[in-house]
């Protein structure tokens, strides 16, 4: 992605959890039904990102995530989109969890890192709302 291209990101109003189920488990009903959720199945796990308050007790999860949406749609030919976000966050010591969809990318950070993430992304030239 050329240096002159800057992204616009929007902090969504939701608190999320990343959950892990078994690779052969069915997708549970609580996994969807909100403004943001993601389900990914691999040979070793069923990974679910959904509203934190929807996850039942006893499910293996990491909660306390917030999500930034990159303004899209993004052209599939663009390169460096996630790198332009991940680099400044890494330099600020902020870990991320990225999810891509057909239209755009989403970057999750821990809730306690949101303010620092906004500052780091703005310092890198991105617009953050």
Cis peptide before 14 (omega within 30 of 0): no
| SS3 label, residue 58 | coil
Supply the angle between the helices 81-91 and 114-123 in degrees, to the nearest 10: 120
H or E element that contains 63: strand 60-70
pLDDT of residue 34: 82
Which architecture does CATH list for 8-128? 2-Layer Sandwich (3.30)
Query: Which one-letter DSSP state was computed for residue 111?
Result: G
Task: Please give the chain's pLDDT, 129 residues, in tens.
Answer: 445 568 999 999 999 999 999 999 999 999 987 889 999 999 999 999 999 999 999 999 999 999 999 999 998 888 889 999 999 999 999 999 999 999 999 999 999 999 999 999 999 999 999
């Amino acid at each position: 992605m050329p240096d002159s291209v800057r992204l616009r990101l929007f902090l969504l109003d939701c608190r999320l959890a990343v959950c892990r189920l078994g690779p052969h488990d069915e997708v549970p009903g609580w996994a969807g039904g909100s403004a943001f959720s993601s389900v990914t199945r691999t040979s070793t796990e069923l990974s679910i990102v959904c509203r934190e308050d929807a996850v039942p007790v006893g499910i293996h999860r990491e909660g306390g995530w917030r999500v930034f949406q990159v303004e899209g749609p993004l052209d599939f030919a663009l390169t460096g989109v996630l790198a332009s976000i991940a680099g400044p966050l890494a330099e600020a010591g902020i870990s991320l969890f990225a999810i891509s969809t057909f239209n755009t990318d989403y970057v999750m950070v821990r809730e306690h890192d949101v303010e620092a993430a906004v500052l780091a992304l703005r310092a890198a030239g991105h617009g953050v709302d």
